[in-house]
Every structure is written in C-alpha cells, then in structure tokens.
Amino acid sequence: MSESLTCDVVVVGAGVVGAACALYAARAGLDVVVVDRGAVAGGTTGAGEGNLLVSDKEPGPELELALLSARLWAELAREGLGEAVEYEAKGGVVVAGTDGALAGLEELAAGQRAAGVEAVPVPPDRLPDLEPYLAPGLAGGMHYPQDAQVMPALAAAHLLRASNARLVTGREVTAVPRGPGGAVRGVRTDRGDIHAPAVVNAAGTWGGETAARAGVSLPVLPRRGFVLVTEPLPPRIRHKVYAADYVGDVASDSAALQTSPVVEGTPAGPVLIGASRERVGFDRSLSLPALRALAAGATDLFPFLAEVRALRTYVGFRPYLPDHLPAIGPDPRAPGLLHACGHEGAGIGLATGTGRLISQALTGQVPDLDLGAFRPDRFTEEAE
C-alpha cells in the first residue's frame, strides 16, 4: 500500500547516525520522518562494537568531531539514556609491544593532548594495575579516560524513540525528486512519496547510492570488517584495549586485509574481538584468514583468551570515503540535501556530533565545528 507523508525533514537511514540526526533535528523543533528499507540498525550500526573513541583519532577535524560527540554522548547518558543504551565510560588503554611503537604512541598522544584529549602515559610495570590479565613484556601504553562504549542497536533504537520522529521501515528510497532551481522536494519510495524541503542522507554504506538518486556524486565505498564474540565470561577486561598499530590501520588506504587486535568486555559477559579491514565490495562471505588473525592478535594481548570459546562472528561494512573523513552538511549541488555518512568505523562514536551539526545546518545556526573539511562536494572539486 502506498502512502504519502509530509514533514520538515526526511532522514534516509535508521542507523545510529540517522537516529542522532532525527533526535537533534526534532529537538530543534523540526517535524522529522526517518525512512529505511530495512530495520532499525539493520546495516553497519548493527554490526558495530559500539566504540565511542577519541584515542584512535589523529589531531584534526575528525578528532574535533569525536570530542564534541563524546561530550554529547555523556550528556545523553546523564539525561537518562545511559542505562538504556548500555553506556559505559570505561576508558581505553592502547598498548605498545615495542619501544618503537611506544615512541609513535607517545608522539600521537602529545598532539591529541594539544587538541583537548586526556592521555595518560602508563609505564610497563603499571599496565597490570589497569588490566591484570594483559600479556607480560609490553613496552608500555597510554590510558584514555574519555573513551566509552554503547550497545549500537540499542543506541539507535533509543535515540529514535527519544526523537519522537515518525519511523517508516521497509520502504526503499528510489529517487530524490528536485524542483525548480534544483531544490530537493523529499524522497520517492517504493510505497509512496515523503514530501519535505530537506533530505538528510544518513544511508551509511549506501550513502553513495542515495546521493546518486539526488543526482550528485559521493564516493562511499564499503570496507568489510569482522568481529568475534566469545562465550560469556566474568569481568576480566576493564577497558577497551587495543594495540598501537590500530591507528595506522584505520588511516590506511590499503584494500588488502589488515588486522590489529581490539579487545573489550561487555556488560552481558561476552568479549568482543576486532578489528579487521578489507575492501572486497559487499561480499559477506566468511574469511577464515581474517578470523584467525583476529584470534591470534587477541590472545597475544590477553593469553587467557586462548582457552575461551568464540561462539559466533558477525560481519559489517564500514562506509569509507577516500580521505577518511565523513561527509557532513549541506550539499551545494542540490539545495535542501544534506549528507551525514562516510564515517567508516567511527559512526557510533561520531553520531551525536554529526546529528548536532546537521540540526544546526537545517535551522541556520552557526555550527559547533567548521564544516569545511566535511564538505560533501570536496571530491567533485578534486576531480575537476
């Protein structure tokens, strides 16, 4: 059955970024409809670990966005959403296995501190104070108290609920009609039109397709990643713990398989083990080399995990843009179209800041951050 709706803004995508855009737009007084061809958190969000990280960001626009987002996540937790989304202000510990890796980590931390990050050096003999089960012989580490975690699917669901936006699932956006002067007029779906003077493209890995339906280009690519999930355990891993080379893997342009150990416990007991990255299109097939590398990296950090069973694995696709920065804000090529996608593996953590910036753009407010680095048309300019 087709149905026509009218609103102030239609958000395409019911993942955590779309949910945050809906929340902050609604708080700014706008009437919001969220549309998704699947379920809430049915894409990248549902395959995420829920990381809210500042520790893995190099100084620059993404770190500024991460710090803004961290403050907003903490605000939402204080407002009462914390328990519902399993918000844990657990902090992060980044460890270095060699003196060379430690020197690189200390250099990164110095730049981060200048940008407002709290980064506390941890000598090797104090690492067991933070993580008693860590492998011996590490060169040292860095403690990041601002790192936190949420349960991604719960976060998307509760942000949407708090927004009171109208949610329309099971509808695929087939076109973004444009009127005189090129302004968008809402979206066309396979079950009716949704009329609005503003459209937010929060379609994650499919953000490029949504942009194309509005007649503009946005080079979003999928970057596949696996997560291993162990059997439930007593609390043994207190922080999010990862190896220093993870930061380099995040920033890499390589299409080949890369893995660096990222290990954290959850309130329910299972330990989550990441992180792998490779560009293989939308291939969801199981990769034994990736899973073996994840398991080996995790047991190198926490030897006790060698005796623990992995119960399942899940796969997701990070929405990747060539310069590793998301597209956030108005698209000058299509008046009324705004983008909020391309966050790669950081979308959970960057969702709140993105939502705030989108709501400010929608209502003509001065944004909390300069949107220049996130301009959606920056790739078009490079091609000219």
Which tokens sit at 349? 């953590």
**Among 175, 176, 248, 216, which Cα is nearest to 378's?**
216
* DSSP symbol at 211: H
Kindly state the helix (H) or strand (E) to which residue 259 belongs, with its residue range.
strand 258-265
| Block residue for tokens 């007991």 | 269
Sign of the CA dihedral running 100, 114, 77, 164: negative
- Specify the DSSP element, H or E, that contains 76: helix 61-76
* pTM exceeds 0.85 for this model: yes
User: At 206, which amino acid appears?
Assistant: W
Q: Which amino acid is at 349?
A: G
pLDDT in tens, the chain (384 residues): 467 899 999 999 999 999 999 999 999 999 999 999 999 999 989 988 899 999 999 999 999 999 999 999 999 999 999 999 999 999 999 999 999 999 999 999 999 999 999 999 999 999 999 999 999 999 999 999 999 999 999 999 999 999 999 999 999 999 999 998 999 999 999 999 999 999 999 999 999 999 999 999 999 998 888 899 999 999 999 999 998 876 654 444 555 567 678 899 988 899 999 877 787 777 888 888 889 999 999 999 999 999 999 999 988 888 989 999 999 999 999 999 999 999 998 999 999 999 999 999 999 999 999 999 999 999 975 544
Residue 169: enclosing H or E segment and its boundaries?
strand 166-169
Residue 144's DSSP bridge partners are 92
Contact 46, 153 (CB under 8 A): yes
Q: How many other CB atoms are found less than 10 A from the CB of residue 281?
A: 9
